[in-house]
Structure 1
Amino acid sequence: MGQKGGRDAFVSQGFDTWNKKDAFRTHMGGVDSFHNKAKEQCEFLMREKQAINVVLRRQTEAEDHKYKARLCVSIIVVRLLLKTGLPFRGHDESVNSENRGLYIEVLKAIRETKLVQCFAQEVLLSIREEIGQNVFALLVDESSDVSKKEQMAIVLRYVDSLGFVKERFIGLVHVKDTSSLTLKNAINEVFTSNNLSFSQQRSMMVGELETGRGLNQETTLVRAGETRWGSHFNTLTSLMKLFADVIVVLDFVKEEGGSLANLQQASGILA
């Protein structure tokens, strides 16, 4: 190696003149010497995050995750076809075929569903980034679907960096009931999954729900709707305004209601 990497005294002939510091400097060489380059690469290798085994392990874990996801979906489709006794293969399984058989077509349908979920996650991520550490208002609406299962829609209202007010739908959550504790826990789960904090949330003023104006406006009892919480507010407002008249009507129904069911219902409401 000549003077590029020092002398061979350190590797074959031995070295005993430790008082000669120049020998060490000659062995080390300049910045680009073999010694310094080997030392630098050794330091790189000893760094845990840059170690070869760590990098390989990280790549292996990612591949294992993808492999397990594909395997699980394949097993689900196989179980479904076996349970229903349906054929796996189709008459034409080529790439250009419109029907490649149940096994491949079901896998394609699940894959498209996964893609939609990925798009949804990207949309939610962009909403979170747009809000940042700023405040937002929470809009929650509860309704029941066709199967009479309770569900809660969650919308965020906030002001973007350009000063525009935006309302963005972030999720539809199924809940077992509409109690305050259940709804709070559901909202908390949505906030946690989207990296949002309750400290950023600001409540809307009750005055934003108008009940009508005018001196000659007629006030009547309003039936509470199933899909809008604002209708419950209107119902309670009209009930407070007509409370005395409602008591008079219930007293009359209790005494002259006719059917036993009406009498009992009016008596229970009065109590």
Structure 2
Amino acid sequence: MDKYLIRKPRTQDSSPMQDSFPVQDSFSSSKRIRVDLNLENLPSDPGLRQKISSYHPNNHDEIRRHYLTKGPCQPVLNDFPLSYFSEKPCRFRSEWYIGRKWLEYSIDKDTTFCFYCYLFGRQDGFKLWNQVAKLDFHVRGVNSVHSQVVKKGEDLLKEKHHIQIDCIRFLLCRRLAFRGHDESQGSSDKGNFLEFVQFLRDHNESINEVLQTAPKNCKLTHSNIQKHIVNAIARETSKDIIKDLDNGFFSILVDESRDISMKEQMSLVLRYVNKKGIIIEWFFGIVHVASTTALSLNCAIECLLCEHNLSLSNLRDINGLKTLILKEKENKSAFYVHCFAHQLQLTLVAVTKNHINIAEFFYVVSNLVIVVGGSYLENGVRRSGRGLNQDTNLKCLGDTRWRSYYGTILNLILMFSAVVDVLEIIEEDGLSDQKVEAQSIMSGRSRRNTQQKTNLHHYRVELFYTIIDMQLQELNNHFSKTNTDLLLCMACLNPSNSFVAFDKEKFIRLATFYPSDFLGTNILALDSQLQNYIFDTRSNNFFLELQGVSELAEKLVSTRKHETYLLVHLLVKLVLTLPVATAIVEINFSAMKYIKNELRNRMGDHWMNDCLILYIEKDVACSIDNKNIMQRFQNMKTHRRQL
């Protein structure tokens, strides 16, 4: 860069005030010789200070920290100088300091300045004493320039190494994985972590000096150190989640899936209702299981919960593993609930496979989608001259998603004429195998030996009635009596349409499912409490527009009705804790495939678990104090150098 610039030499007779206001040449200042400063000689009056940029770059933070320690210049005088605005005398008042810790006054210039703006690059003065309201306009919102420089000042007063931890967390929470191909000194591809450390060295002389003088085996940049730091952040994240749970009851969502290396991984999610009445689902961890037997999965779950000091007595519902509940009856208030959405899918899909006519129909549809490819279909539409605006998206049928069946049938109905034209084209111009398939689909199966029946009888008796019976049978097989009763009783909590679904008997019946939380006396108290509750909520305008149980829980807390109706609120929390779907677990498995992919298929289980926690729960991870992370890191093992 130097060869493209002609540096302007600084004149020796330039005064401090002349040097403070003009824009400085950043390139010339970056090459100035570093001098030893006597910080006590730095002027306190903001009107007499030089710009921070006029000092050597290596002194900037030292000077800023000195001023931050002393605080803003806020002199109190008996009489401030008078100024005239529209022939009216006005002067600065010391009361204006109140509530404005950033405000400074220069006795020399009779002007106010922003303390933090001066420290980080600006030195604009203000002296319109008749328009003092404009002082607060300088602060503006939380994302204003002023707020940003205040945050910089607060961070600068913290320990110097915070920038290193912040950079690590920045990379982790955005899933820039710590993976290097060649971490040797001369490598140009050291991986994201070491490349970022090199960036810091290039832009901060203090960091560069520490890394240059530190022994080669004591720089805290080894891959093991990186993993220890990640583990420390993951542990603190889990600790923060447990703290938010506050020893309350919870449910767990469990599912298994294989990672890219074909290892069985079990994902566990905690679900609970927080103090504000909001449903929370936290990813808690992923565990490699040697087998998917009930005993193996049960042991893995118990170990993970015990590792974080979670009591099984607070467990209320399990979604995903039926055997865990059926094995032991230690907690009578815990119930197994399979994913309801998945159960409905299985019920509908099972019917299509068990009824011969329906199975034959979808077999033909599946073959039709395969034979009628996209190019053939478009060609048929073009040659027929019809259906130019039709959707040509005929998707293959999924194994467990009824929506794929339904969508394919709708598209087939819309494109029926074009599909017939395409089949005729394939019969004429297709390959031999395609001709056979097309002719088979066009001809259909022979009905010469079948008994003649009316269409009404066929579709009503042989199909509709039969399928309804099969669906009822499948639903009874997939939904236990306990789960069905839970769902029916849960419906009485719905606040929609002025609590039209309220049923006192179902309310009390629902409470009996949780004997650990509702003893005999509590049931009697709930009975008497419900009458006041329903009258109060139906006559209260705050509860008129509620649309679900989750909104009811939040409104009870915000209106402090949860203190009046303690038992009702407890029952609402228990119902919200009951999981009905495993969508969140499937999302976690998607994240697992992103983190442990083909390029990182040898990633260890603990390393993947820590990365997943930080990636999925990035909001919690970013809120943890750096001191807690460093303290946990130091307590892991004895290191030669402290962070």
Question: Into which bin does the TM-score normalised by the smaller protein fall?
Answer: 0.3 to 0.5
Query: What is the TM-score when the length of structure 1 is the normalising length?
Result: 0.43
Q: Work out which structure has the larger RCO, using CA pairs closer than 8 Å and 6 or more positions apart in sequence.
A: 2
Query: What is the TM-score when the length of structure 2 is the normalising length?
Result: 0.19
